[in-house]
A and B are shown apart, each in its own frame.
Chain A
Amino acid sequence: DQQVKQNSPSLSVQEGRISILNCDYTNSMFDYFLWYKKYPAEGPTFLISISSIKDKNEDGRFTVFLNKSAKHLSLHIVPSQPGDSAVYFCAASVGYGGATNKLIFGTGTLLAVQP
């Protein structure tokens, strides 16, 4: 039972254009959503997050949008750069009384930014 889905395994974008990565979830109890970026042979690194009480969060070139009614979130990268080429994981969280964080991950989308 996959609660967080990234239906596009890969995405190719030209340098300077916008990259849009999508994520769908099924569990309405999720209250916190995150995007992680992963390079080969490295661990995932935190990129940006959004609380379920917001619909947008922006950090530099990265913006995350949350549509709760559609149970959908997306990550926009503008402008895309070759160094952004990596696997992007969407994750959703159910709090555990504040002591810990159970992240449920999607399967990732491989972004390739072409120079």
Chain B
Amino acid sequence: DTAVSQTPKYLVTQMGNDKSIKCEQNLGHDTMYWYKQDSKKFLKIMFSYNNKELIINETVPNRFSPKSPDKAHLNLHINSLELGDSAVYFCASSQAAGELFFGEGSRLTVL
């Protein structure tokens, strides 16, 4: 029974397409995040939501749009995909400002 689950785990798509990654947590946490791990292995925060409210929005292109329908879900939609969007995207959750629990990651490859 996975605590933070992401789908899909692998995604291969063409430049210019639109894609979504879904995330769900069953830990009862109030806060959810999206992190991006690029080819240099940097793990960088993209967004943070607390009780469906956007708290952190790093300098991410507005082609990336997170959506939190409820506090257990945080989805990431990406429009007009570019080569540089290829990365592993990690969803995470925490109880307020406590330690983060990460999902297994979604590897996005843009061709």
Contacts and interface: CB of A to CB of B under 8 A. Distances in A.
B56 A100 contact: yes
Contact of A101 (B40, B94, B103, B104): B94
Contacts of A89: 43
Interface stretch (B12-20, B44-52, B66-74, B77-85): B44-52
Interface SS of chain A: helix, strand, loop or mixed?
Answer: strand
A107 B98 CA distance: 21
A110 to B, nearest CB: 10
Interface SS of chain B: helix, strand, loop or mixed?
Answer: strand
Contacts of A42: 104-105
Interface residues of B, number: 27
Contacts, number: 68
A86 B59 CA distance: 30
Nearest to A101: B97
Chain B CB within 10 Å — which of A34, A41, A101, A107 has the most?
A101
8 contacts: A99-B31, A99-B50, A100-B55, A100-B96, A101-B96, A101-B97, A101-B98, A104-B45
Interface of B: 4, 30-31, 33, 40-45, 48, 50, 55-56, 90, 92, 94, 96-105
